[in-house]
């Protein structure tokens, strides 16, 4: 499985990477993008199986990114990883096509519960 991590913070991309590895969900490769615009390019070029995107980013935020992905026939599965876990944001993310929303702070178990079933 190829996973694209989208977050404007390099430190947060590193934390997500570390937490995914700690979740011990089998084999996967990781690629990164620092905003939604870059992520759209990566999706077209790299064809990831799963995208984990932040909600608040410059240039193109998580919602705009999700909406842009909806126009693609071959869109990947997407989950949101954010500090914005309100009911309104959860609903907006789900409406825009996100399969799940993981609120920060998160644990390996949180990732295992959300992503594990997608890796089977």
Q: Where are the domains of the chain?
A: 2-119
Q: State the number of CA atoms in the 13 A half-sphere of 112 facing the CB.
A: 9
3-56: per-residue pLDDT in tens? Answer: 999 999 999 999 999 999 999 888 899 999 999 999 999 999 999 999 999 999
Give the N- to C-terminal CA distance of the chain in Å, as an integer: 10
Query: Over 90: is that where the pLDDT of 73 sits?
Result: no
Three-point CA angle 105, 64, 47, nearest 5°:
80
Mean of the per-residue pLDDT values of the chain? 93
CATH of 2-119, one of 2.40.50.100, 3.40.190.10, 1.10.10.10, 3.40.50.2300: 3.40.50.2300
Check residue 14 and report its DSSP letter: H
φ, ψ of residue 111 in degrees (nearest 5): -65, -45
């Amino acid at each position: 499985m190829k996973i694209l991590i989208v977050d404007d913070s390099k430190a947060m991309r590193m934390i997500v990477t570390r937490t995914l590895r700690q979740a011990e969900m089998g084999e996967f490769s990781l690629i990164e993008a620092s905003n939604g615009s870059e992520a759209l390019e990566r999706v077209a070029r790299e064809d990831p199986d799963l995208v984990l995107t932040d909600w608040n980013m410059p240039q193109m935020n998580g919602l705009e990114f999700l909406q842009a992905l909806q126009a693609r026939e071959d869109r990947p599965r997407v989950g949101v990883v954010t500090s914005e876990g309100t009911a309104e944001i959860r609903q907006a993310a789900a409406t825009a096509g996100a399969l799940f929303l993981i609120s920060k702070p998160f644990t390996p178990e949180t990732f295992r519960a959300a992503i594990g079933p997608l890796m089977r």
